[in-house]
Amino acid sequence: MSYCLNPTCIHPENLASSRRCNSCGSPLLLRDRYRVIKPLGQGGFGATFLAQDEVLPGQPCCVIKQLRPSGTAPHILQMAGELFEREAKTLGKIGNHPQIPRLLDYFEDRQQFYLVQEYISGSTLQQEVKQKGVYTEHGVRQFLSEILPLLKYIHERKVIHRDIKPANLIRRTQDGRLVLIDFGAVKDQVSQAAGNQSGHTALTAYAIGTPGFAPPEQMAMRPVYASDIYALGVTCIYLLTAKTPKDLEYNPTTGDMLWEHLVNISEHLTKVLKKMLEVSVRNRYHSAMEVLGALDIEPYLNSLSEGLLVQNSQRPDNSTSWNSNSTANRNENVAKIAAAIRARRAKGGESVGLGMGRTQHGEIVSKATSLATSNSNGSHLERKLDAQTLLAAYSKGRRDFASYNLSLLSLVGVDLSETNFNSAQLRKTNLHGSNLNKSDFGRASLVDANLRDTNLTKAYFSNADLAGADLRGADLSHAYLSNANLRGANLCGANLTGAKVTEEQLSVAKTNWLTIRPNGKRGLL
């Protein structure tokens, strides 16, 4: 189908082959390349559409947002234009992140303004909850561990999103990662001086945001970074209860949301969420790092000193990087750190966080290890794990090993599916025959790694370095290899069916007649 973008068109649906709208006569090929397929939705000032780029090979999908204010008052038109331009500039500035849609184009056509974005295939968290039910505590912790680092990235670039909610978070089908969309309400000139019941983003002369998700200071036109923390907290309540803010009760005196009686979660997570949802900015977490710190350390002080680090008796015979003495010392140091933090808390001091990441025990262990191996000047040594510690942490539920040094490890035939290895070092690591289904290797170094006969279906390799990697017989079906370096990589017999990879990338790799190409055909490339 071809969909007409003329806002006044009465019958915008047309045949896919049509060049002009049968109803109003408007051209259907936008800028001589984009063919709109169907509408996706409409917010306060922009309507979004699914389209195909007919200029690029394969006619990939994209999202087109058209400036279409909901009102005609002068201040509405002015604000809509400013926000539309700001969204384009913001995406251009921060869009180089795997959890933010890339800006592809921004232009004016026939007196209409358009913004073209990367299409993110998947379901929103709102749809996910409606289809699969509410989250468990573990699911919410996992959600926060993935979104808070993204929020930190955005805030470090002096951007406040101002419209975080379940409908603006998509779980990407390709790799299962969460993507934050709709930067139409962003504020990129940030001042840290804080000063309707629908589910739609409000666009008025007074406030921008979604009522119930936006905190009081944002609705009073004084958004700060902590405003996004509040919205993230409300999103967590939705994930736990499937109730939107309008379905919840509030304390008439304080304005606090009343939700604790609806959930079954630990006292610790309750405490963290309550602080995220403080009506007063002064009492709320001020940054994503503060929330990450609170989630990481507080509930696990006892566990840190009770041997979650791998004990000496567990040392594998084939481990070449194990040092039993240093491990014992680290265990002792971690116990001392935990004791010091307890003492500080007993005196009323603030809790100490050990950095970003998931909150499963294995993740906390690694942060504690990193802290315990600091040098005398307080700077951290390189984060490196041996094979046994890596597998022990994975067995305890940890799935995030981003930016770790895992080079030269022997991990033959192991199960590390759906794991985050983003920006990790895996040079010459032996993963022969392992299960790495849906794992994230974005920006990771896999130079000369052994990935022979490995299950890499739906794995994410955007901007990864696979130079010289042995991928013979590997299953790379539906893998995302955009901008990955495949120079010298051995793809003989590899299955690339449905993989996102270009002919140019494959031309510098080794292939043979057993290689299955992205189109499903077998043969040399």
Helix 267-276 × helix 137-156 angle, to 10°: 30
What sign does the CA torsion over 482, 487, 490, 491 have? positive
Phi and psi dihedrals of 179, rounded to 5? Answer: -125, 130
CA distance 256 to 326: 49
Residue 97 · residue 120 · CB < 8 Å: no
Q: Mark whether 175 is an active-site residue.
A: no
Residue 377 · residue 412 · CB < 8 Å: no
The 10 Å Cβ neighbour count of residue 29 is 14
Residues 32, 53, 105, 163: which is the catalytic one?
163
Name 153's Cβ contacts closer than 8 Å, sequence gap at least 6. 94, 97
Cα–chain center distance at 326: 35
CA distance 494 to 481: 14
The 10 Å Cβ neighbour count of residue 39 is 15
Please write down the HEC assignment for all residues of 466-491. Answer: CCCCECCCCECCCCECCCCECCCCEC
Tokens of 2: 């071809």
110: which DSSP letter?
A: T
382: which DSSP letter?
A: P
CA distance 107 to 250: 44
Residue 36 · residue 3 · CB < 8 Å: yes
Instruction: Give the strand pairing for 29-30 and 34-42.
Output: antiparallel
What sign does the CA torsion over 500, 505, 509, 512 have? positive
Q: What strands, in cross-sheet order, belong to the sheet with 122-124?
A: 122-124, 169-172, 178-180
Return the bridge partners of 208, or none.
203
Tokens of 115: 């913004």
Amino acid at 208: I
Tokens of 82: 């400013």
CA distance 16 to 9: 17
Report whether 187 belongs to an annotated binding site.
Answer: no
CA distance 133 to 232: 19
Please write down the HEC assignment for all residues of 2-19. Answer: EECCCCCCCCCEECCCCC
Please write down the HEC assignment for all residues of 133-145. Answer: CCCCHHHHHHHHH
Annotated binding site: 65
Would you please indicate which residues are annotated as catalytic (active-site) residues? 163
Annotated binding site for ATP: 65
